[in-house]
Amino acid sequence: MTNTMEAAEFFGVIKTYQEHINDDFEQPQIVIPTLRSYQRRAVKWMIDREINNDLVKCDGSPFSGGILADEMGLGKTVEMMCCIMKNPAPPEFHNQNILVKDCIQKPLIQRPSKSSTSKYIAYTSDKDLKIKSTSNSRSSLENWYKNVLSEMSTVPKKAIISNFDEDTHIVTCYCKETPPKSILVYCAMCGKGQHAQCVHFEPKPFQEVPFLCSNCWILNDKLQCKATLIVVPPSILNQWIDEIEKHIAKPGLKVYVYNGVYSDGYIQPYSFRDYDIVLTSYNTLSRDLNYVADNLENPNCTRSLRHSKKYNYPQSPLPCIKWWRICLDEGQLIENTCNKVCGMTLNLTSVHKWAMTGTPIQKSLNDLYGILLFLQVSPYCIEKQFQQLMKGEKTIMYEYFSKLIWRSSIENVHSELNLPKLTKEQHWLTFSQIEKYFYFNQHDLCASMFSDIATRVFPSLDISVKNIDKKNIYNIIRPLYKLRQACVHPQAVNGQFLKIKGTMTMEKLMDVMIDQCRVHCNDTLRSLVSLHNALAGLYLIRAEPENAVEQYRTVLGLMDKYKDKQLKIDTVQKIHVMYNLATVIEENTFLTKKLSDSNLKSDMELLEKEYLGASQQNVESTRKTVQFYSDKVAKIIGNKTLGYSNWWSDMLDWIFSPNDFLSKVQMELEDYRVPGVPNIANRLKSVGDVYNVLSVWLTDLNIGRNRTISMLKTLEETPMNDLVQKALICHLRLKSKKANPKYWCLLCNAEMCLQSYESLLFSVSNKQKNMLIDKTEENDQETMYESTSKGLWKMSQKEFLLMKLYQYGQAKIINKSCLEDAAEHIKVLELVRKEFRYLRLLWTHLSDSLSTHDEIVMAKSRLKLENTCPLVTDEDGPSKKKAKKKNENDIIMEQYVDFNVMSMKSDIPITMTVLERDIGKLLYLENLKKEKENSTEIDTCPICCLNGEAGWAVLLCGHSVCNQCLASMCNHSEAFDIACPMCRTNTPMDSVSYVKNNREGEVSNIKGSFSTKIESVTLKLMELTQQDPNVKVLIFSNWDKALNLLGEALTQNSINFKILKSGSTYKKTLKDFKANNKINALLMKLSVGSKGLNLTEATRIFFMEPIINKADELQAIGRIHRIGQTKPTFVHHFIIRNSIEENITNVFSDAMFDRWDDITLSQLIKVFEKNESNDIL
């Protein structure tokens, strides 16, 4: 049985128990609208449940309340307001004096006695507080320490202790600074003082109200309040206020909106007694849970702490009150009993409890447990008892819930509603060719990803989605989401086209796809060339030079063959082929030569020159920039060192208040620190310490700069061949000697100098971690590699200290000549930092140049046999063979030669087929681009000599034939391959791609280039606005990116719209959409606007993608198809054919599934099935 059928049967049976309830109910006169018959029956039942309920709570007290489960749009809000007014709290419930318990815990210090009664307000002015005198330095340090602690504290800044006099008062206020003209009030229980303004203690004139701190309010008896606390989703909080004003006549109900402790500070519990309704949101309730003591019986309990808390925070006032009624709107939001909202609701007490929800059952009847837990109705608020009820006799279950749930459906009361007709339309769309290419590429990746995760993680695919843990559900859902996003727009897919700014047009997508395809072709061509080169080397090992030459010539042929398709072979591969072919021909004079063979070496040398020239040009360019900055530094300092002058030591002698300077510098150094770098602030105990730190640093900095420049100069002057040979031994290929500096090459020594110099000049770590050892998993090879903090080039702490000293001198107007020297010195250090960046870049380019030379050396080598290893004498044992070096990949053992020849012979045709298929894709995309641009005529069919007006087919070889001729060729072909009429290359039938000729189709009037889905939604909206300029449409999507892309299309086509987002603009956006007739569309995520909103101003809903959860879809439709709607309503679904959207529509509309959580992995695989096979490669 599906969830819908289960819920329908459940509500249907319950309704039979309530058929006797009639509508003889007199609605309150203050309610403006006239209640319909079903609404009067509902309110009558609610009043009966509050007065004559025979159920009990878990604590044994009488239960009152229930679940108002009328379907969306039937007026649950009005029904609840009628219940509130029809059954208000009696005066004896809330008109009681506040009694204060005897003091449970003694205050640490006796507060001064006052003439007034001790249990009431004790006022005193802050000027009466006597503050102990302390030194300026001590005070500044104490204030600095408190500021640091307050910034580290997770408690809001309002919850910080005030200054107090330990001899007279304890002041534990929540404010950071004492408010002006503040008045202290003292708790009648614990005696602690707080500012009246900070705790909103403002009793009315002649009102005797005892002041209790927030902790003591919890310890005291709960305050009985006449108000009804209504908790709503934040998206509809303002709508509740509007509904109350709209449906309740003046003077109406007195409403207070509670925003929580975090936003409004602590509100006195007695303040709520003045209101009829207190509105708050689920978000506020969740946040207030952070302000509820773990131990409600003793909130001041400090557990194992040796001292009481230094930073106090207020408790939430909500648990201190016994409300007359609590109501949760959209009560299904507490179905998850582990969330914070559910935890907070369990801390609230009331006489009556209600849950309002149009969808109390979404997954199964088990969803009801979360609401029962909130209601605390016995015995089924205990999960074990509830499960027994679900598995037991249905008659008992139905009878029990008939006393708890009231449900009216649109179907049952349709005759009373007189709602206009609701029409649903499905718009079936077809991908454009480039979208189809992109989508099916994504489909292959996502389907493979899903299948891999499902089979690897789960032993059985019969597990349902709802039983998968959160850790794995994201990995399961991600491929599904990516495919769904690809149906909306390629740019909507997470992680795709991140570098492209703005909205990607389809023309830009075409160019990107062509570039990606060309890169893939180059990769495949590179692999093919590598196979030919390796096979040639194996033939030479087998002394078969003729076959080796054939392989090398094949590579040269590939170079010429694909030159016109802009496919390139790597330069090092070209050098390898030319060098080895020339060498083999020279060594074997009997081989047949070609005229072009004489140019092999000259062409190779030209390639080498070009390849090396690029890296050498980078070195020369960077060297000039380094010299530019070096000259500027030399011009300023002349023969001086980087210490420049003694201005900083003179300024240290002139400091008027060393302690103030040091404390200020220490605090600023704390803020300036970089993780992983030791802070020098702790070392600065005196002015002498500052002198020593700066003196040593400037000396080391000068030495480091000279050593680095000298090392790089030596590196440049050393012949490249010598550098390459030493680098080979050090780190390029051979195993490093355990990172011993004795074995480092000149390049690595220069790198160490740079790192040491960098740690002096910038705020980077100078620990041993700069010498990292990379142990690769493949061969456990140890390779020292560069590890710097590029991008974190922040001036060092010492230079920062020098800068602060200079700023101090400027403020104090110390000696003018000294300040001039200081300014020049600061300028020099700034130039040195800029110089270092290019010194680092110079080293990088030198390293690249060295690697380029090494690549050329490697390019000229080829496979060779492992020689008989010479014997090595070991002093500690017998002679043994020298082991083969793990990183010598150009060596092969003789017994593997024949096997590798056979393997590569079989791999070459496979790789060639893949290459031809990739090139076919490239030609397919290029033909699409030609057709899109209409810049050239499509090639005529080589068979019928026509242009293929109905479309054409692209074969693997890249040639095209029209669809009619292709059909004829297929009919006459007995095999599964089609021979190209131009080149006779065989193409498998399932590898043919098709291009549709859309030139004669209907020309779109839309401005801009967007995806099929975006254009279709925009065109439909343009059509509606032409018919009715004031039409209003709600457009739902699951993703913000899709809404932003649609917004761009609407903007370009002059359609006024708003995007509804949670936050400060939420209320204004809704108001503008409802009031402004010029705004035609409201765009929103399904999670933001599908629940609770009343948007009867709109008459149409667009779903940009199929909705998996049908309950969410019904909730969204309920925004316009509800009481108050006077016009016909329409729901539009936009679905892409032959995509995952069509599969979702088919699978989730099947009678087997009502909610996506119930589908199993094996059934979900059907969603990834392709509906169209031969449309693209």
pLDDT tens string 384-436: 888 888 888 888 888 989 999 999 888 888 888 888 889 999 999 988 877 88
Interval 1091-1095 mean pLDDT:
80
Structure-block tokens of residue 34: 């006239």
Q: What is the 3-state secondary structure (H, E, C) of 154-205?
A: CCCCCCCCCCCCCCCCCECCCCCCCCCCCEEEECCCCCCEEECCCCCCCCCC
**How many CB atoms lie under 10 A from the CB of residue 843?**
21
Phi-psi region of 994 (alpha: psi -120 to 50; beta: other; left: phi over 0): beta
Taking only Cα atoms into account, the Rg of the chain, rounded to an integer number of angstroms, comes to 40
Residue 666 is inside which H or E element, if any?
helix 658-672
Confidence band for 926, pLDDT divided at 50, 70 and 90: confident
- What angle do the packed helices 1140-1148 and 470-488 form, to 10 degrees? 120
Which of 946, 943, 812 is CA-nearest to residue 955? 943
Interval 296-305 mean pLDDT:
48
Beta strands in 26-129 (DSSP E): 65-68, 124-125
pLDDT by residue (tens digit) across 836-850? 999 999 999 988 888
Phi and psi at residue 150, to the nearest 5°: -65, -35
Alpha-carbon torsion (1076, 1082, 1088, 1093), positive or negative: positive
Structure-block tokens of residue 252: 């109406």
- What angle do the packed helices 506-541 and 433-457 form, to 10 degrees? 60
**CA 875 from centroid of its chain's CA atoms:** 62
Residues written for the chain: 1177
Cross-strand partners of 321: 223
State how far the Cα of 289 lies from the Cα of 428, in Å rounded to an integer: 48
Q: What angle do CA 694, 698, 699 make, to 5 degrees?
A: 120
Residue 582 has pLDDT above 80, yes or no: yes
Is cis: bond before 33, omega within 30 of 0?
no
State how far the Cα of 425 lies from the Cα of 420, in Å rounded to an integer: 16
Structure-block tokens of residue 106: 């003694």
State how far the Cα of 959 lies from the Cα of 975, in Å rounded to an integer: 20
- What angle do the packed helices 720-727 and 816-859 form, to 10 degrees? 80
Range name among 483-497, 702-716, 819-833, 1088-1102 with the lowest pLDDT average: 483-497
Residue pair 158/194 in contact (Cβ under 8 Å)? The answer is: no
Q: Could you tell me whether strands 277-281 and 255-257 are parallel, antiparallel, or unpaired per DSSP bridges? A: parallel
Q: What is the dihedral of CA 904, 907, 909, 913, to 10 degrees?
A: -150
- What angle do the packed helices 746-761 and 720-727 form, to 10 degrees? 90
DSSP code at position 319: G
Range name among 82-91, 288-297, 541-550, 1046-1055 with the lowest pLDDT average: 288-297
CA atoms within 13 A on the CB side of 1046: 34
CATH number of 419-500+1008-1177: 3.40.50.300
**Termini Cα distance of the chain:** 42
Q: Where in the chain is the domain with CATH 3.30.40.10?
A: 937-1006
CA atoms within 13 A on the CB side of 1113: 19
State how far the Cα of 193 lies from the Cα of 178, in Å rounded to an integer: 12
DSSP code at position 742: G
Confidence band for 872, pLDDT divided at 50, 70 and 90: very low
Cross-strand partners of 1160: 464
State how far the Cα of 690 lies from the Cα of 839, in Å rounded to an integer: 30
State how far the Cα of 952 lies from the Cα of 947, in Å rounded to an integer: 9
Query: pLDDT at position 1023, please?
Result: 92
Q: Give the three-class secondary structure for 847.
A: helix
Range name among 155-159, 353-357, 785-789, 1107-1111 with the lowest pLDDT average: 155-159
Annotate 917-941 with DSSP letters as a single string: HHHHHHHHHHHHHHHHHT-SPPPPP
Considering 260-269, 732-741, 1024-1033, the range whose residues carry the highest mean pLDDT is 1024-1033
Q: Give the three-class secondary structure for 509.
A: helix
Query: pLDDT at position 797, please?
Result: 86
Does 130 or 425 have the greater pLDDT score? 425
State how far the Cα of 622 lies from the Cα of 712, in Å rounded to an integer: 12
Beta strands in 233-347 (DSSP E): 255-257, 277-281, 321-329
Superfamily (CATH H level) for 937-1006: Zinc/RING finger domain, C3HC4 (zinc finger) (3.30.40.10)
Residue pair 279/230 in contact (Cβ under 8 Å)? The answer is: yes
Which of 238, 122, 261, 206 is CA-nearest to residue 269? 261
Query: pLDDT at position 145, please?
Result: 58
pLDDT by residue (tens digit) across 706-724? 999 998 888 888 888 888 8
State how far the Cα of 1118 lies from the Cα of 1136, in Å rounded to an integer: 25
State how far the Cα of 2 lies from the Cα of 8, in Å rounded to an integer: 10
Residue 870 has pLDDT above 50, yes or no: no
Structure-block tokens of residue 973: 């072909």
Query: pLDDT at position 499, please?
Result: 54
Beta strands in 373-431 (DSSP E): 405-406, 422-429
Which of 421, 571, 514, 371 is CA-nearest to residue 923? 514
**How many CB atoms lie under 10 A from the CB of residue 26?**
10
Query: pLDDT at position 937, please?
Result: 53
Which of 1005, 1006, 1039, 1021 is CA-nearest to residue 1081? 1021
Query: pLDDT at position 1033, please?
Result: 94
Interval 666-690 mean pLDDT:
81
Spell 1035-1045 as b/e; 16+ CB within 10 A means b. bbbbbebbbbb
Confidence band for 997, pLDDT divided at 50, 70 and 90: low
Q: Could you tell me whether strands 993-995 and 422-429 are parallel, antiparallel, or unpaired per DSSP bridges? A: unpaired
Q: What angle do CA 640, 646, 650 make, to 5 degrees?
A: 170
Which of 196, 199, 168 is CA-nearest to residue 184? 196
Q: Give the three-class secondary structure for 459.
A: coil
What is the average pLDDT value for the chain, to the nearest integer?
A: 79
State how far the Cα of 952 lies from the Cα of 930, in Å rounded to an integer: 13
Quickly name the fold that domain 1-98+227-262+272-301+319-409 has.
Rossmann fold (3.40.50)
Q: Where in the chain is the domain with CATH 3.40.50.10810?
A: 1-98+227-262+272-301+319-409
DSSP code at position 458: -
Q: Where in the chain is the domain with CATH 3.40.50.300?
A: 419-500+1008-1177
- Tell the burial category of 33 from Cβ atoms under 10 Å away from its Cβ (0-12, 13-18, 19+): middle
Phi-psi region of 946 (alpha: psi -120 to 50; beta: other; left: phi over 0): beta
Phi and psi at residue 604, to the nearest 5°: -65, -45
Range name among 412-426, 818-832, 864-878 with the lowest pLDDT average: 864-878
Does 67 or 645 have the greater pLDDT score? 67
* Amino acid in position 591: L
Cross-strand partners of 1035: 1083, 1102
Q: What angle do CA 528, 530, 531 make, to 5 degrees?
A: 65
Query: pLDDT at position 252, please?
Result: 82
Phi and psi at residue 962, to the nearest 5°: -75, 160
DSSP code at position 894: G
Q: What angle do CA 750, 755, 756 make, to 5 degrees?
A: 100
Q: Is the pTM of this model over 0.75?
A: no
State how far the Cα of 168 lies from the Cα of 109, in Å rounded to an integer: 8
Residue 881 has pLDDT above 50, yes or no: no
